[in-house]
Amino acid sequence: MSPRRPLETILFDLDGTLVDSTHLIAESWRHTMRTHFEDPPPDEVWLRTLGQPLRTQLGYLVDTAEEVQAMVDTYIDHNFREHERLIRSFPHVGETLVRLCGKGVRVGVVTSKASAGTARSLAACGLDEALFDVIVTSDEPVPHKPDPAPVRLALERLEAAAETAAYVGDSVWDMRAGHAAGVTTIAALWGPFSERELVIERPHIMLDAIEDLLGYVAAPDPSRPPA
């Protein structure tokens, strides 16, 4: 399925979409579970909530804010310590972002990750923050995915119309947030979730590779001088 109109704004999830952090996240989660539980929950518990903010994920497992904070501290300590060793780049992400910008597309990040971790992940994968016209993280004082608020906040800051915008993500939470925000939803099948898992959310477009996005954007206006 094609967008309603050629895309002028493309917003991206971070983990599992722009950066391959699944192994890093999994190892940090397992370390946290082993540290705080005698009988650690299985990976299925983590996978069901992957893509939501960390505090939300951990809040499902314990009863108090103090317990959540203790686990957040454990997770972040491990994640930052092992970050550069375990994070990976997806093929063609950087060059695709550059080509999108060259076509006049505004690009942004809308992530459930905190700003410090977001900056670290982008840098580790060689993605210059200057490529992005907007970055919305879980530090923003708005509800988070699957709520549409962070996607709408990014559109508001860009003064962009939902009708010519898309949200690209690898999780069901991304698809739900994008649908609710009224943008074109694009499932990133290069991430950890399968087509079978994502098709249930009825994304407008499903792509196997990030460079395929280039076929959905408007051609540059030859009468417009370069920026």
Rounded to whole angstroms, what are the CA distances from 121 to 110, 134, 174?
A: 14, 16, 19
Residue 163 DSSP label: G
Selecting among 13, 15, 20, 174, the annotated active-site residue is: 13
Q: How would you class 223 by CB atoms within 10 Å of its CB: exposed for 0-12, middle for 13-18, buried for 19 or more?
A: exposed
**Residue 195 CA to its chain's centroid (Å):** 17
Q: Which of 213, 14, 24, 207 lies closest to 127 in space, CA to CA?
A: 14
Active site residue 208: no
Q: Is 93 left (phi over 0), alpha (psi -120 to 50) or beta?
A: alpha
Instruction: Tell me whether strands 19-20 and 88-89 are parallel, antiparallel or unpaired.
Output: antiparallel
User: CA-CA distance, 117 to 121, in Å (whole number)?
Assistant: 6
Q: How many of the other CB atoms lie within 10 Å of CB of 219?
A: 8
| Residues assigned a catalytic role | 13
